Amino acid sequence: MISKNQALCILNSGLPTGADYAEIYIEEKDTFTVVVENGKVENSAISRSYGAGIRLLNKLQSVYGYTNEVNEKSLTKLIQNLANSFHEKQCIFLDKLVTKTAKNLSVVKQSYLNTDDNIIINFLKKGEKVMREFDKRIVRTQFTFSYSISKVQIASTKGINFLDQKERGRCGIMCVAADQGKIETGFEGPGASAGFEYFLNNVDIEALAKKTAEKTIMMLEAKECPSGKMPVIIGNGFGGTLFHEACGHPLEASMVSKNLSVFSGKVGQQIASPILSAIDDGTIPNGWGSNNIDDEGNKTEKTLLIENGILKDYLIDDFNGRRMGRKGNGACRRQSYKYEPTSRMSNTYICAGKSTPEEIIKATKFGLYAKSLAGGQVNPVTGEFNFGCSEAYLVRDGKICEPVRGASVIGTGPDILMKIDMIGNDLLRGQGMCGAASGFIPVDCGQPTIRVSEMTVGGNGGEIK
């Protein structure tokens, strides 16, 4: 980290050629990963990252650079190099910087700094044993825990020198089962912006191991999913990947501001079923995708994106906000100092509805129940998206019937949003990693159980019978 006065000098040395905004982002991050397989610690990895990224803006132009040499001399050289891209008169001067420490939204009770490696290892081993002994057909188990401790300094010509500190941890549970040439994989990945107390108090590792093993064995026995158009019920929690892909990405200012998104210019318009409301909330205490401040020093916010089907707002960073005549709403994120930040999601979810999950199943004559999703992908311009199912069943006459494997579901965001015809009251958030222009970042995808009246389901099980 650098002193407030050093930051002030560096920022001012980037301004003489006309930059109207300058920002230094310094990050020091320690990460630790341990992997348990077959009852033993298989692998461990430790990394320390320390570097600084500098961004200069001039109207709609951005220049960015980063370095691992975090000192006044090196950062001044970098900012002056970047400033050489502009050729105008100086338009701002920074008089002073006020240091602020970001308010901690996620209380850490047991810091990873004070958590013995063996406490984590024993936690993993407890779950791994349950899974390994669950069924002979389980051929591989892998329990991983990763944590990061990071300190961030963001000094900019907004006049603030922000200091922030955060800890995140995530557990990865993988189960591979094989039988007669068939192989299936199951995965669960609870994570939080919290210390290890979160896992000790909230994650029943043995129960989760059993649930993952059961799911994997069941999918091993499942038939191939049939293909065709049908109603699709999507389970709560990480089922929120659907909304993340179909709607979340196209609501990011990086696409919206350039009029490249299917949802550009549609605030105030009905873009989804009237029963659907959705939120992106970067302020949820201990949320996996939460942050005290975003990566350009704005406070994170709870943003109502859609209310009763009407588009209310976008996810905006300051730079892309310039094209929209808007200021950022705390949605600017990046993987590390090596990435120029841009508008991204944090904890995004569909709000709870009125139906019970049982009512939704009961009201469906035939369809796919995609209980767990494996991840997805979207083209924000066309709105076309896909996601894979890690646990799915066919629904017949209002009842959950045989499990099916190898199901994928595709559609276009605007079309699917209008076709959501039932929303459950069982909102849950799941944790994942989202990859886009500013790198991989932790996000929550959440939703209650929902039903889409018709989607295209892909599978290798032939026609629907």
Partner 1 sequence: MKLNEKKFFELAKANGFESADYALNESSSLSVSIFHGEVDSLTNNNSFSLVARGIYKGKMGSISVDHVDKDSPEFLVKEIKRAAQIIENDDPVFIFKGSEKYHKKNVSKNVDFSENIQEKVGILKEIEKKLLAYDKRINEVMSVGFESSSNAYKKTNSYGLKLSQKMNSYTYYVQLSAKQGEEIRTGFEVFASFDENEFNIDDFVKKAATNALEKLGSVQCSSKKYPVVLNPECVAALISTLIGSLDAEEIQKHTSLLEGKLNQQVLSKKLTVIENPLAKNLFFRYFDDEGVATNKKYLFKKGVVSTYLYTLQTAAKDKVSPTGNGYGSGSKAHADVGYVEVKGGKKSEEEIISEIKEGVYLTELTGLHAGMNAQSGNFSLQCAGFMIRDGKKCEPLALITVADNLLNVFNNIKCVANNNKLVIFNQMSCPSIYIKKMAISGK
Q: How far is the CB of 304 from partner 1 (least distance, A)?
A: 27
Q: How far is the CB of 264 from partner 1 (least distance, A)?
A: 11
Q: How far is the CB of 286 from partner 1 (least distance, A)?
A: 26
Residue whose C-alpha is closest to residue 452's, from 281, 275, 285? 275
- Tell me the torsion sign for CA atoms 255, 258, 260, 263: positive
Q: How far is the CB of 95 from partner 1 (least distance, A)?
A: 28
Q: 17 or 355: whose CB is closer to partner 1?
A: 17
Q: What are phi and psi of 326, to 5 degrees?
A: -130, 155
Whether the Cβ atoms of residue 188 and residue 214 lie closer than 8 Å to each other: no
Q: 37 or 206: whose CB is closer to partner 1?
A: 37
Q: What are phi and psi of 345, to 5 degrees?
A: -80, 165
Q: How far is the CB of 439 from partner 1 (least distance, A)?
A: 13
Q: 33 or 111: whose CB is closer to partner 1?
A: 33
Q: How far is the CB of 59 from partner 1 (least distance, A)?
A: 9
Chain centroid to Cα 57, Å, comes to: 27
d(CA 326, CA 343): 13
Q: 68 or 201: whose CB is closer to partner 1?
A: 68
- Tell me the torsion sign for CA atoms 457, 462, 463, 465: negative
What is the secondary structure of 244-292 as a DSSP string? Answer: IIIIIGGGBHHHHTTT-STTTT-TTSB-S-TT--EEEETT-TT-TT--S
Q: 91 or 183: whose CB is closer to partner 1?
A: 183
d(CA 463, CA 444): 35
Q: How many CA atoms lie within 13 A of 150 on its CB side?
A: 25
Q: 142 or 193: whose CB is closer to partner 1?
A: 142
Residue type for 211, please?
A: K
Q: How far is the CB of 283 from partner 1 (least distance, A)?
A: 29
What tokens appear for 328 in the block? 């950022």
d(CA 305, CA 278): 6
Q: How far is the CB of 233 from partner 1 (least distance, A)?
A: 18
Q: 355 or 438: whose CB is closer to partner 1?
A: 438
Q: 97 or 232: whose CB is closer to partner 1?
A: 232
- Tell me the torsion sign for CA atoms 201, 170, 409, 415: positive
